[in-house]
Structure formats: C-alpha cells, structure tokens
Amino acid sequence: MEYIEVSVSGISGENAGILTAGLSDLGFESFTEECDGAFSGFVPLDAFDIMLVANFLESSSAKLGFMYKVEKVAEQNWNALWESAYQPVKIGSCFIRAPFHDPDPASELDLVIEPKMSFGTAHHETTRLMIESILPLRFDGKQVLDMGTGTGVLGIIAAKLGAGNVVAIDNDEWSFLNAMENAARNNVPGMLVIHGDSAAIPAGEYGFIFANINRNVLLRDMNDYYNCLEKGGMLILSGFYDEDLGLIKEMAGSFGMKQVQVDTLNHWAVVKFMKC
C-alpha cells in the first residue's frame, strides 16, 4: 500500500489540533510532530480524496496561515520514514522512546511511548516544558490528575516517580485508548484513564494537577481544577503561548493561587501555581 503525506509548517498549539482533527476526519491515520510548528499527516492512497483534502487545506491555510506540501510515499519507505521522523527524546533523567528504539540503561526513567495519533511525544515544546517541571517534584504517594493526557506520558512519569493514584483524562477517544495502552506498556496498571473532560474528574483531592491543553480550556476549567486541588497542592499548566501568561495568572490569582514558577521555550509557556 502507498501513502500520501501532507507536510505542514507554520502552525502549532490549538490550531494544529484543529487541523489534525480535520485531517483525521478525511482518513488520515497517523501524524508525526516536530518542535518548530510543523507536522506530517499520512493517509493510505486508496483512501485519499484529493478534492476534499485540497479544499480543506486551502480553506484552512487561508484562515490559519500555514504552509503545506503533498507528496506520495511508497510502502517500502513507510517504516523507515516513521522511525527516522520519530526520534527518542532525552529530558533530564527521562528517556522517552518508541517501541522500535533501543532502551537507554543510563536513564533513570526509560519510557516506551507509542504515540499513534495522540499528543504528547515530548517532541513538542509544551510536553517538554511539562516534563521538565515534573521531574524535580516529590510526589510521596500523592494523588495526581493529568488532564488532556494524550499519550499518558505525564501521568506515567508521575507514577514512576512515586505518585499514589494517578487519574488521566482525555476527551479524545483515540488518546484515551492510547494512554491505556502506554500505561500497560510501561507497567503502570493502576493508572485510571478516563474518556471525558473536567466533568469526569473523580471526587477527591489531588496533590498535583497537570493540564497541558490550550488557553481557552484552561481558563474555562480553572474552577474545576481549583476545587479538587488539595491545600498546598500544585497546579501545573501549559499548552499556551507566553503572551497568554497574563490571562492564565489573572484567572489563577482570582482563586487565590500563588504562582511558584514560570518557564518558556520558543514562545510556549509552563506555569506552576500552589493552592494557598
């Protein structure tokens, strides 16, 4: 079987999510993400409707301002293309790889994450920022909530670092299934993965809440995060540009949460808040 590859550049964040969702509806089966506002999507040639895809890309690029290229990829190059595009990532003591990569015995955490079509491979700036924020934490058996879990990588890291119960939630069915698979693949059978949104958060208090989503969802759901965060607990947010930090800080401050730390990478931001 041959595939069609659509390479997109100049798009990231929420707009990239909108575009990949639209391409998924048009039959695209998998995506590879890069750290510079670029990604590629792949669809089998026999499922490729050139007019539908062309019209979608043209109208979307006019609205969102990205560039794209369409080309055919032969089957014999498919695995090599995927493996060359998806490289392992080393972040501090954490090594994140796909099943076809060799392990890194020197790393404290050696995680196998098969991304499929889920967000959270550690190649994107926001995932990297979240991981860098999580690695120094002491979990000491605390409950952890991972909102917009994607591949499940953040919840898996927390579990490996000594968290108690880990709850991972995503409203995308593909991500929900992928996170369950990755939890099992990394021997984290106790991680509860839920298909839903903030309305599906199980009752209880959480010592740590991760949310790597987008600005609008973070602002909308901040009240839900605050209500289930224990006193002294930490809320770690990313998925937004540094220019949106003011809005995020203002909303968190309205609940009396204290900013602990801010980091940025290529105009993306991560921020930690503590519930006082």
Measured in whole angstroms, the distance separating CA 266 from the mean position of its chain's CA atoms is: 17
**pLDDT surpassing 80 at residue 206:** yes
The pLDDT of residue 77 is 54
Q: Which residues, listed in sequence order, are joined to residue 272 by a DSSP beta bridge?
A: 236, 261
Strand order in 3-9's β-sheet? 30-33, 38-44, 3-9, 67-73
**pLDDT surpassing 70 at residue 226:** yes
CATH number of 3-84: 3.30.70.260, 3.40.50.620, 3.10.20.90, 1.10.600.10?
3.30.70.260
Q: How far is CA 172 from CA 33, 213, 237, in A?
A: 17, 12, 19
| Reported pTM | 0.75
**pLDDT surpassing 80 at residue 36:** no
Fold of 122-275: Rossmann fold (3.40.50)
Instruction: Encode pLDDT of 183-193 as tens digits.
Output: 999 999 889 99
Lowest mean pLDDT among 22-36, 58-72, 238-252: 22-36
Helix 245-254 to helix 215-228 angle (10° resolution) is 20
Instruction: Encode pLDDT of 159-181 as tens digits.
Output: 999 999 999 999 888 789 989 99
Three-state secondary structure call for residue 73: strand
* Residue ranges per structural domain of the chain: 3-84, 122-275
Mean pLDDT across the chain, nearest whole number? 89
**pLDDT surpassing 90 at residue 145:** yes
Average pLDDT value for residue range 33-49:
81
The pLDDT of residue 64 is 86
